[in-house]
Amino acid sequence: MKTLAYKQNTQDVLNRLRSLYEERDQDKIFAGMHIPNKHLEEFKNNNIAGNCDYPDPSERILFWDSVLHERINLLDDSIPSVYLSEMDQGIYGGILGGDIKFTRDTATAGLTAGWVSSMVTPLLNDLAELDKLKFDKSHKWYKRYINQLKIFVKGASNKFGISHFILIDGLNSIFELIGATKTYLSLIDKPELVQKAIDFAHNLNAEVQTDFFDQIPLLGNGTCSNLAEWIPGRIVSESVDPFHMTSVEYFEQWGREPVERIFNKFDGGILHLHGNGRHLLKAVSTIKGLKAIRFCDDKDSPPAFNVLNKIKIVTGFIPLIVDVECNDFYTALERHNLIGGILYEVDKVADIDFANRLMDKVREYQV
């Protein structure tokens, strides 16, 4: 697949993003524009946020088609794609027999706007029960996963892409098995079982993600991404969230190897970093196979945009993705204060016309 009907300048955008992620061009800036969306507003008005049942994937892909079609005249650096939110966390525990819980998000902006996401309640009382777990592709939830992939591929039909979705490996997987508190205690009390669980999770995630790439066509030999728009190759999406609440030493002991192993299984990966995880920045910047870092802002930490100079000192030429409100972005753009080699996800943009005028300046910008 080389072009998308819902992105008029697909090839131009892919070329620009390739210069960011492959060439690590520091002389340009890149931007995705986030505008109001009437279909997300309708979703909010017609649905109640909170717990819900697994939705009909055929209805979900029609919903996302409507959402993305609204952006058809937008000439920014975004790539329209749909995220498999229904499977994003729950599928991993669900196919092992876990009880999947679904949650509807009626926000009209942000990464999770319009989502129905999933998680599972802990499967085990203790890691000593690990041998009880069996991965069987005939499980009903795995069949639903493959079925949803096929429905989404048919529904996307070269109009928009399908984004990779989050890995739940390493300590994240053990969180699903026994909960967070028991996971941290097990690092001290049962390290051999922790390693066994990490190895089990690697194999499970590798199977789930391999089947994803077997079903989903690449766009221009690259992967659509809800966090990074698009990156060349078969790229997975990783989380180091459990280490946001640990020292860097714990990440080095328990986090680095599983991440590098799964990145090596594919063509590399991206990861996201929350505000309370920035102490890991130097360590994660040296992960082998890392293609980009997406910063997620939290209320107790300064926005990444406000401390980019400090961040860039640590990360060097690694491509970064940060959120910024339109007023702040516009001011920095006019003052020529924007740092290169970064994809700016610009929130609260008034409309498509204003977004496209901004993009003219973005494409002309030279650091």
Token pair 């997987």 is found at 173
Delimit the domains of the chain by residue range. Answer: 1-35+219-367
Q: Residue 67 corresponds to which tokens in the numbers above?
A: 């959402």
**Per-residue model confidence (pLDDT) at position 84:** 97
Q: Which of 285, 225, 277, 251 shows the shortest CA–CA distance to 170?
A: 251
Q: Residue 343 corresponds to which tokens in the numbers above?
A: 């994809």
Please state the pTM of the whole predicted model. Answer: 0.96
**Distance between CA atoms of residues 1 and 11, nearest Å:** 11
**pLDDT of 300 over the 90 cut:** no
100 backbone dihedrals φ, ψ, rounded to 5°: -80, 135
Secondary structure letter of residue 255 according to DSSP = I
Q: Which percentage of the chain shows pLDDT scores above 90?
A: 98
Q: Residue 18 corresponds to which tokens in the numbers above?
A: 């390739």
Secondary structure letter of residue 182 according to DSSP = H
Quickly state the pLDDT bin for 106 (edges 50, 70, 90): very high
**pLDDT of 269 over the 90 cut:** yes
**pLDDT of 275 over the 90 cut:** yes
Residue type, 327: N
How do residues 161-183 score in pLDDT, each as one tens digit? 999 999 999 999 999 999 999 99
**pLDDT of 347 over the 90 cut:** yes
Residue type, 344: Y
Query: What DSSP element (H or E) covers 223?
Result: strand 222-225
| Contacts (Cβ under 8 Å, ≥6 apart) of 198 | 169, 170, 171, 173, 174, 254, 258
**pLDDT of 2 over the 90 cut:** no
Query: How far apart, in Å, are the Cα atoms of 189 and each of 128, 193, 197, 268?
Result: 12, 9, 14, 32
How do residues 180-237 score in pLDDT, each as one tens digit? 999 999 999 999 999 999 999 999 999 999 999 999 999 999 999 999 999 999 999 9
**pLDDT of 1 over the 90 cut:** no
